[in-house]
Amino acid sequence: MRYNLTDLKLFVAVADAGSVSRGAQACFLSPSSASLRIKALEESLGVPLFLREPRGVALTRAGQIMLEHCRRCLAELEQMHASLAPYAHGVKTQVTVFANSTAIASFLPGDLQVFLRLHPDARIQLEERLSRDIVTAVAEGRADLGVVTWNEPHPLLEFRDYRADELVAIAPRDSPLAQQRSVSFDECLRHPFICLHNGAAILTFLIGKAALLGRALDIRVQVASFPAVLALVESGAGISIVPHSVLRHQHHSALAVMALDENWAQRSLSVCVRREDARLSHPAQALLTLLTRERRQAS
């Protein structure tokens, strides 16, 4: 297959514009050159990507699939350039941190603020991942540090205590559930849930706990962030189970918070690092020290 980045960018531009001439203009190419490139791309792939219509072009099914892949490829390239940009401006080291949704929504932003104030020349690449993916990334060297909820040993990693947290039930203040100081998970399952999107660690965890009871979550709404979960619960749309830490800086007068009467409600966040942490850069070692120190101070 013979095609280059210009061909892929042109293909996306034509698909977005619905016109070869307008797509060519967006890529600073002449219409004739663009037409030849599109034709060569189709011949290389062995499938038609566009349907030629009187007023422009439309994607074929193969073209729709191609467009999805092209967008991902180009986005990955943009991310690569963004990740390399700090080095082009004199930054010698960038710390890559993968963290789960709970850590990013609660403790980590404040701790990173402290770190960056102490190390103004440092750059941090922070990415949200599931705990199991974070453990794999740190073990493989794709991340310097990981912040996870994890209770199992790993041959290549060590885990250092970061922060203690607990899961709590939240409900609208006028809900019958809100009249109790603590509730069981079984009681919660009798109500519709507001949850994070599929793939979120806490949702996967709760679905597993419900399955052990032979039950399932009645998921009414799924959203992308904890603030959205809190707002929807406060509106009366349903209940939820969230880390208590995400409520620290939130003021929701119409929200009731109840202890979750389950042993597994107590959860600990850990920082994971490769055992041979001498390979860490000085900024990464400094961040590791700060995160574990914050745990000691919080205890």
The pLDDT confidence band at residue 299, using thresholds 50, 70 and 90, is very low
The string of pLDDT tens digits covering residues 170-201 is 999 988 888 899 999 999 999 999 999 887 87
In the CATH hierarchy, which fold is given to the domain comprising 94-163+267-298?
D-Maltodextrin-Binding Protein; domain 2 (3.40.190)
Whether the predicted pLDDT of 293 surpasses 90: no
pLDDT at 1 (0 to 100): 58
Q: Class of 164-266 per CATH?
A: alpha beta
User: What span, in angstroms and rounded, lies between the C-alpha atoms of 177 and 181?
Assistant: 9
Q: What percent of the chain has pLDDT over 90?
A: 62
As a whole number of Å, the end-to-end CA separation of the chain is 59
pLDDT at 89 (0 to 100): 61
Q: Is the pTM of this model over 0.85?
A: no
Where in the chain is CATH 3.40.190.10? Answer: 94-163+267-298
Amino acid at 221: V
CA distances to 112, 123, 168, 203, 285 from 137, rounded to whole Å, are: 20, 19, 29, 21, 17
The string of pLDDT tens digits covering residues 39-92 is 999 999 999 999 998 889 999 999 999 999 999 999 888 878 877 776 666 655
Q: Class of 5-84 per CATH?
A: mainly alpha
Q: Is 270 in contact with 187 (CB distance < 8 Å)?
A: no
Q: What percent of the chain has pLDDT over 70?
A: 92
Where in the chain is CATH 1.10.10.10? Answer: 5-84
Where in the chain is CATH 3.40.190.290? Answer: 164-266
pLDDT at 91 (0 to 100): 57
Whether the predicted pLDDT of 130 surpasses 80: yes
